[in-house]
Amino acid sequence: MLSELFKPIKLGTMLVPNRFVRSATNESLTDKKDYVTDRLADFYEALARGSVGLIITGYAYVRQDGKSSTSQAAIYDDKFIPAYKTVIERLRPYPIRIVLQIAHGGRQSIPAACDSKPIAPSPVPYPLTKLTPREMTEEDIQEITHSFARAARRAREAGFHGVQLHAAHGYLLSQFISPFTNRRKDKWGGSVENRARIILEILKACRKEVGKEFPILIKLNSDDCIEGGLKVEEAVRIASMLGQAGIDAVEVSGGIGDSFPSACRPDIKSMKEEAYFANNAQKIKEALEGTFGKGGLGSPDPKKTADQSASDGCLCPVICVGGIRSREVMESIISTGKADMVSMSRPFIREPDLVEKIRKGLTDRAACISCNQCWHPRGIRCAQLGTRD
Ligand SMILES: Cc1cc2nc3c(=O)[nH]c(=O)nc-3n(C[C@H](O)[C@H](O)[C@H](O)COP(=O)(O)O)c2cc1C
């Protein structure tokens, strides 16, 4: 019997051939002016050859002051579109889908990217840069909303199959939903509805630019992993609001820049340590099913064809990310209905062909040891494979 992992699924109008997602990963494969390069196309082509169903690109910053790492891809101007087109052309022969992650760093932006201070919902100091951001004005919020919408329009023009709003890991949208970083007293802060308002406004603005058919996904923090931060109960409510507003899929993550643990937990050795946000993903999935009525994505009807099964069920699939390593855990996330798709970052840096290896029965576990040595300013790489320059 075909494993659930290899059944197609629909995210809005986008048909993804299997349940494997390459989670957004800042590849650092850009030139000095933050245009994407042929090296990035090589990297994605290896993932496409390896049958990853959906690639979510690394963080692309929507405004110049939203850059959060020294080497990061830009999408703040139309001039970046042709380079993305070249990358996407290389993926045309493959049945996979590719989505651009659009983001702004807020208080986690690097100082070199900002003329003066980074901006944020509230002036909460960021220990890593030792800077206190400037509190955003109403005008700033309107302008940022348009920046995200323009970035989504550029993504569509470049040929991406969709966009993902980055509302996780302590970046700007994650700062707004978090009571730890959002201390505002106006309509953008306070209640969970107010803290989520900016994301709902951005979703609306993006829809106006790209239309109803273009998939818009979100990566959402389910727990900031810091005292006073966002907890899963509030994340569930935000996901429901997003579901009702027409988001096409929710990827569930957690952690912020100054939290421990973070999004990338080290040394995942046993199955017990894997999939550390899976229980939160399940809560979010249950809430979304409550919104739309229980669907069949987690338990497809055996009488239906793969394509029929892919297009019914929950209107808003849930993607689980964070420490997923073994086939047994992947299968159980899908079969127990914790999530509809499994997403990985570090394992694909070491093994871009991991999905094919699993499909062929050549491995049951990613070789990644979660050492967190993969980041490199001249391109991510696995530190366990050969020497680093
Ligand atoms: C080198 C590196 C870069 C990352 N860049 C991004 C990014 O651009 N956007 C994002 O949402 N998450 C980013 N992440 C986090 C991953 O998407 C993922 O949430 C996290 O690594 C946990 O998944 P894993 O255990 O499969 O690696 C990055 C992770 C790594 C290791």
176-188 pLDDT, tens digit per residue, is 999 999 999 999 9
Residues 99-150 pLDDT 10s: 999 999 999 999 998 878 999 999 999 999 999 999 999 999 999 999 999 9
Distance in angstroms (rounded) separating the CA atoms of residues 151 and 92: 22
Specify the pLDDT at position 196.
Answer: 98
Ligand 1 centroid distance, CA of 343 (Å): 10
**Over the stretch 21-56, which tens digit does the pLDDT of each residue have?**
999 999 999 999 999 999 999 999 999 999 999 999
Contacts (Cβ under 8 Å, ≥6 apart) of 84: 36, 75, 100, 154, 155, 158, 159, 160
> Which residue CA neighbors atom 16 of ligand 1 most closely?
345
Whether the pLDDT of residue 245 is over 90: the answer is yes
Tokens of 316: 């808003």
* Per-residue CA distances from 224 to 172, 204, 220, 255 (Å): 13, 25, 10, 4
List the beta bridge partners of residue 55. 22, 98
Query: Picking from 61-70, 230-239, 306-315, which range would have the lowest pLDDT averaged per residue?
Result: 306-315
| pLDDT over threshold 80, residue 291 | no
Question: What mean pLDDT do residues 80-91 have?
Answer: 98
Is the domain spanning 4-359 CATH 3.20.20.70? The answer is yes
> Which atom of ligand 1 is the closest one to the Cα of 265?
25
User: Residues with catalytic annotation?
Assistant: 171
Q: Which of 75-84, 272-281, 311-320, 369-378 has the lowest mean pLDDT?
A: 311-320
Burial grade of 241 (CB within 10 A; 0-12, 13-18, 19 or more): middle
Residue 154 scores a pLDDT above 90: yes
Residue 301 has pLDDT above 60, yes or no: no
Q: Would the CB of 323 count as within 6 Å of ligand 1? A: yes
How big is the CA angle at 263 (ends 10 and 367), to the nearest 5 degrees? 80
Whether ligand 1 lies within 6 angstroms of the CB of 35 is answered as: no
| Mean pLDDT score of the chain | 94
Count of CB atoms situated within 10 Å of the CB of 120: 26
Q: What percent of the chain has a predicted confidence (pLDDT) above 90?
A: 90
Assess whether pLDDT exceeds 60 at residue 299: no
Task: Work out the average pLDDT over 219-240.
Answer: 98
pLDDT above 60 (res 309): no
User: Is 41 close to ligand 1, i.e. is its CB under 6 Å away?
Assistant: no
